[in-house]
Chains A and B, each alone.
Chain A
Amino acid sequence: MARTLSLRMRIGLAIVLALLVVLGGRLFHIQGLDPAGHAHQAVSNRLHTVELPAARGDILDTQGRLLAGSADRYDIVADPRLAGDYTVPDPDLGMQRPVTVEQTAEELAALLDAEPADVLDRLTAEDTHYSTIARNVTPEVHQRVMELRAPGVYSEPVSERTYPSGPVAGSIIGFVGSDGPLEGLESQADDALSGAPGERIYEVGADGVRIPTATYEEIPAEDGQDVRLTIDQDIQWFAQEAIAEKTNEYNAQWGNATVVDLREGREGEILAMADSETVDPSDPAATDELFRRPLALTQDFEPGSGGKSVTFAAALEEGVVGPETEFRVPYRMTVNGETIRNARSHADYDMTTAGIYARSYNTGTLMIGDRMEEQTRYDYLRKVGYGEPIDIGLGVEGQSILRPPEEWDRRQPLTTQFGQGYTGSVLHNVQLYQMLAQDGVKHPLRIVDAHLDPDGQEHPVTTDPERIFSSDTSQEMLKLMEGVVEYGSAMGAKIEGYRVGGKSGTAEAAGAAGGFDGYTVNFIGVAPLDDPQFVVSITVHRPVGEFGDWDLTNTFRDIMTHALTSYDVAPSEAESGAYDGFVGQRQDYPW
């Protein structure tokens, strides 16, 4: 080797070195400085981010039976820029077979149960790279669609709500629209149910396969809480059948049957809130708008004779009458120029307080109520819950209209004593009988029992009880109610082996054009009276027929019997505690 390089070699080396420096500089410019963001772009091209949806919590009944759950479904979407003709290898021919986009559309339509033309439109839509072909298809259909291996056809995992019992408790559960929850608990408890979605980030090669050694990150999703209701699915269904049958029998506008638990530790829990017709949450559009939300909250009406219980309880509480105080009750009486009649004409009777309650005489009720100030009676109406909305944790408040005495017209001081001139929802009425049956203590009605974390941790929902009437008043009221069933206006409500009490009511229903053009009929009962376990309320709005044609006691009896036997409440041979209705020996005066 020569000791020194020749001039030519030196020049050549200098050029090579110079080129190397230039290339090195360029490399550093591109790779190190990356002013055009190529490296970043390359990574982001390879990076795929997939949202991991959080599992939406279930809605359960009081015994843990599933009312609303979630199932894996897929949205089939197309990228029309990539969709087009393609070839598939045909094993019979042993060569590639062309498939046109029209054929793809037809095959997809057959799998998805759609119109081929419609699918073709979506596959070939212009100026978009995203068009949805089908929503919420089952994994099975999704599998078959993916096996077509049609270019430009993708799927996105979604979660669909399933309602295994369909219309049972449908209006309570509510439903979910394509953009989110719309009604009922699905909407009210949405924050608890939905949880927080997670994310999976990974790099994908040009052939669509994940690069094993590259970035892989997974942020797990936080699943939503389950919500357990106080509703008993079985009793709810039974009540729905029973009230639907009754509403159908009288061809009424709507009906409602509500069952409330009075058992120790479960006071005020709504076991069933059944409407004559109920929305199926999987197909809300199929049901009339009236029945998409719980009628026990959305409908307010005059309570009618059921409202007399407030007057009687207040009078007993104030000590202005006793259960056997005697009155001479006429068929009709005029107070301040306003004439009040009873439902049917009768001779003047010598009756007890209990008798007036049992036969539900308006005139007798006025004689008792007038022993108290207007303001006192109003205060009691307010104390039991009328005049303010009732909230059971469902996002829908039950309305009640009750004007203060200074705004009353000439008739209202009288009518409010027997349940007219003010309105309340079914739950207002049920709340009243709950407190009368339970020692005079109000346990606010509720429908959500507990929230359950994914790990099983329970967060019970509790309410604060409040004493409204004395224990004595409550005991006397139960005896008055027993008279109603034993010899009064609701003898059909008797259940063999149990002491049953209740109060029937019929109120005129205000029409849309003003004035009254129909009736709301109801019956609320409690059993067994020696240790009240359940309140059952039956309401039927605008039944067809004449006043007096309607009897709800058999529906009450069926539902109450079902509740008593379902929860193993044994019959007792306890003696009736009802007071005599009439003064003297004779008790069978004509109606």
Chain B
Amino acid sequence: MAKYTAPVQSKIGQIIDVIVLLIMAIGALYIPLWLGMAGSSKEPVAIENPTWEALGQNPAMVGQWEKLGFSDPAAAAEMITARFDYSFSISSLIVMIVVIVGYYAILLRFSEKEYCDVIAEKFGE
């Protein structure tokens, strides 16, 4: 196999590459945040005039809440009643599986193609 000589990248080209990579990385975290789609699906349940009993707390739990600075059950109500919603649709689960498996399939396929060139040049055909 003929030896491949990589072109020398200009300084501006290097800077542009880094900026592109940064935009993609920051976007991956911030775009879902900006769109309000990221984060846990954890929602508190509103209870009017909550008591420790209504919040399902026994005397030992109440004692610890008070030591933590929550002497009023209303102050702790939001924290106690917040629950994750783990309901999901089969279709969204399938989408997730396809995305993950597809990602690794792309990785392995393209990597193998590149790897063959590396080995061919390093060790000869």
| A and B part of one assembly | no
